[in-house]
Amino acid sequence: MEGDLNAPDGIGLEDRAEDGTVAVRPSRAEAEAAVRTLIGWAGDDPDREGLLDTPGRVVRSYEEFFAGYESDPTELLARTFEETDGYDELVVLREIRFESHCEHHMVPIIGCAHIGYMPDRRVIGISKLARVVDAFAKRLQIQEKLTAQIANAINEVLKPKGVAVVVEASHQCMTTRGVHKSGVGMVTSRMLGSLRDDPSTRREFLSIIGSPTTYNG
């Protein structure tokens, strides 16, 4: 997306969505007014003392929750290193904690991601892998799409021999509403290249990350 979340009140910003369409982002003032409307709809008085500053706080929170729209995963992955002395075994980063939000109910998804890849001449700084997770997680998401986006981005930019991503998460849309089932964890995976086609390489990755368990944050 293009635009500045800190733009002055009353100014709409032009943003490009993931599908390429262009829309004008509401101004900060409009966003805060929307929060006031929701407070009133919930049954409280947005003008009472304890809630006067809540719209501004919520908008600032959204800047953190959805900062991923301001990040370009391709740029994050662009800087790679070729001086590996021929290293050609698995590279695995485990338990990358993330917070996301369900695109259906806008409540938190809390979890961790495990990433592995088989280099083909180039490797990437491990912090960049964690940043790519955040770039996609800090958007409105479903876990299946998040898992695929992380794996596909690494595969397309780094062009390794294989990529594997496993995501474990707890969904508050399931624990705090609806069926109200606590302690339930969801596990998704995306395997590409040698990590999809070679059973021994896939087993090695899964052995390194261990058996997925219910993620409780």
pLDDT above 70 for 4? no
Pairing of strands 22-25, 108-118: unpaired
Do 8 and 94 share a structural domain?
Answer: no
Handedness of CA 117, 118, 120, 124 (dihedral sign): positive
Over the stretch 67-119, which tens digit does the pLDDT of each residue have? Answer: 999 999 999 999 888 877 888 899 999 999 999 999 999 999 999 999 999 99
The whole-number pLDDT of residue 212 equals 58
Q: Which of 32, 112, 141, 171 is catalytic?
A: 171
Domain assignment present for residue 42? The answer is yes
Confidence of residue 10 (pLDDT cuts 50, 70, 90): very low
Asked about 180 being catalytic, the answer comes back as no
My answer on whether 98 and 205 are in the same domain is yes
- Taking only the tens place, the pLDDT of each residue in 14-65 is 555 666 666 788 999 999 999 999 999 999 999 999 999 999 999 999 999 9
Alpha helices in the chain (DSSP H): 28-42, 54-65, 73-76, 126-137, 143-158, 172-175, 194-197, 199-209
Q: Are residues 53 and 143 in the same domain?
A: no
Q: Quick check: 135 pLDDT over 70?
A: yes
Q: Is 149 a catalytic residue?
A: no
Domain that includes residue 17, residue range = 2-65
User: Catalytic: which of 2, 14, 75, 104?
Assistant: 104
In a domain? residue 34: yes
Catalytic residue among 99, 105, 172, 204: 105
In this model, does residue 216 exceed pLDDT 70?
no
User: Last residue of a domain, which of 20, 35, 65?
Assistant: 65
103 tagged catalytic: yes
User: Which one is catalytic: 32, 143, 149, 168?
Assistant: 143
pLDDT band for position 2 (cuts 50, 70, 90)? very low
Residue from 30, 70, 102, 172 carrying the catalytic annotation: 102
pLDDT of residue 211: 65
Q: What is the pLDDT of residue 86?
A: 82
Of 18, 36, 65, the domain-final residue:
65
Domain co-membership, 55 together with 84: no
Tell me if residue 112 is catalytic. Answer: no
Res 181 pLDDT > 90 = no
Query: Strands 140-141, 108-118: parallel, antiparallel or unpaired by DSSP?
Result: unpaired
Confidence bin at 178 (pLDDT 50/70/90): confident
> Is 102 designated active site?
yes
Given a contact cutoff of 8 angstroms between Cβ atoms, the answer to whether 64 and 72 are in contact is no
215 in a structural domain: no
Q: Give the C-alpha separation, 65 to 11, whole Å.
A: 21
Q: What is the pTM of this model?
A: 0.85
- Residue 171, helix vs strand vs coil: strand
> What is the count of structural domains for the chain?
2
